[in-house]
């Protein structure tokens, strides 16, 4: 038990650190090869913040642990909205612009509905996974096209400024890119092994471990970046970071895991976790609508989201150990 617990702690710490090094190395390498700053910010950094979820779920699927693969993805979505946005809003209310309500949130709701429809038969087949990846590729292509077409000078300048602070020699950038990727894989293997061992020792399903310990651990990059963005007054980045991460998790993370190995779906995923995820997405829309003024998620609503997360986690724990 002690070895497995240590493996989870070390794996999570190394996972977060290696993901950060991987993003820095990838961004610096892309910059050296003349990739536009806007694309670096949207593609490389976007993939980088979701790299922990991707690698963990892929390895879990490869090793025949569908509970961790799915629990990590959907648990991260629940964590992103209820814990991360909730905590961020308590620290500083988050402004919600109308564009997010018109475009990003409806897309996330539609993607959630697609995921629920695919899982209703208790199985995520390779064909289902390919559909998820194709939808993801289409959304990424459309987002990149929109970003380049709009040519937002302020956003490009902001990303350019952030990247200029991380400029490194090409050789150093490539080294960190490779080292970060290797450590991502190694730390993910350590984390998955530790999580599976803990599940076995406690006699709980790997789904519960994936929904709780693994999901929170792989969401740490989003938590840090959202809090920092909000404290700087960059509410769009904080909210966009969470919405983008949830799209990555639902489409790319589950899609990659399912394409590696078809995933058997525990019935509780549909009856419990998918309902919570969909309910939180709808709650986010209601909170951000702004019936009596500009839309925002205030401190009270942030506290409500936190209570939802605590209640959900408490239910998982109680149903596991008291049943």
pLDDT in tens, 268-318: 999 999 999 999 998 988 887 765 556 778 889 999 999 999 999 999 988
Task: Note the residue count of the chain.
Answer: 323
Q: How many CB atoms lie within 10 A of CB 249?
A: 30
- pLDDT of residue 22 exceeding 90, the answer is no
| Predicted TM-score (pTM) of this structure | 0.81
**Structure tokens, 291:** 């019936």
pLDDT in tens, 144-175: 777 666 655 544 444 445 445 555 676 777 78
208 within 8 A of 73, measured Cβ to Cβ: no
Q: How many CB atoms lie within 10 A of CB 64?
A: 13
The domains of the chain are located at 2-318
3-state DSSP percent of the chain in helix, strand and coil, to 5: 85, 0, 15
257 within 8 A of 73, measured Cβ to Cβ: yes
b/e burial code for range 255-264 (CB count within 10 A of at least 16 → b): bbbbbbbbbe
Report the distance separating Cα 276 and Cα 274, nearest Å.
5
pLDDT in tens, 91-119: 888 877 766 666 778 888 999 999 999 99
To the question of domain 2-318 being in CATH 1.10.3720.10, the answer is: no
Helix 105-119 vs helix 274-289: crossing angle, to nearest 10: 160
């Amino acid at each position: 038990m002690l070895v497995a617990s240590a493996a989870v702690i070390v794996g999570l710490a190394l996972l977060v650190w290696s993901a950060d090094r991987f993003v820095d190395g990838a961004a610096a390498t892309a910059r050296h090869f003349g990739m536009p700053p806007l694309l670096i910010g949207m593609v490389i950094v976007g993939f980088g913040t979701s790299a922990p979820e991707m690698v963990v779920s892929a390895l879990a699927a490869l090793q025949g642990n569908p509970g961790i693969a799915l629990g990590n993805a959907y648990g991260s979505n629940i964590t992103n909205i209820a814990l991360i946005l909730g905590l961020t809003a308590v620290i500083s209310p988050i402004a919600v612009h109308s564009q997010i309500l018109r475009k990003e949130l409806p897309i996330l709701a539609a993607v959630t509905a697609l995921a629920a429809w695919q899982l209703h038969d208790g199985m995520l087949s390779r064909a289902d996974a390919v559909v998820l990846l194709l939808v993801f590729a289409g959304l990424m292509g459309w987002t990149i096209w929109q970003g380049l077409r709009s040519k937002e000078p302020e956003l490009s300048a902001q990303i350019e400024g952030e990247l200029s602070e991380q400029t490194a020699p090409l050789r150093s950038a490539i080294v960190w890119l490779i080292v970060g990727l290797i450590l991502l894989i190694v730390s993910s293997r350590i984390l998955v092994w530790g999580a599976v061992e803990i599940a076995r020792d406690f006699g709980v399903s790997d789904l519960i471990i994936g929904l709780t310990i693994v999901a929170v651990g792989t969401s740490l990059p989003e938590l840090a970046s959202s809090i920092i963005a909000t404290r700087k007054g960059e509410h769009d980045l904080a909210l966009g970071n969470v919405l983008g991460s949830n799209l990555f998790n639902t489409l790319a993370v589950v899609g990659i895991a399912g394409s590696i190995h078809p995933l058997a779906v525990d019935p509780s995923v549909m009856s419990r976790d998918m309902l919570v995820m969909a309910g939180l997405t709808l709650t986010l829309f209601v909170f951000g609508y702004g019936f009596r003024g500009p839309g925002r998620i205030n401190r009270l609503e942030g506290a409500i989201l936190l209570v939802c997360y605590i209640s959900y986690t408490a239910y998982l724990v109680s149903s596991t150990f008291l049943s």
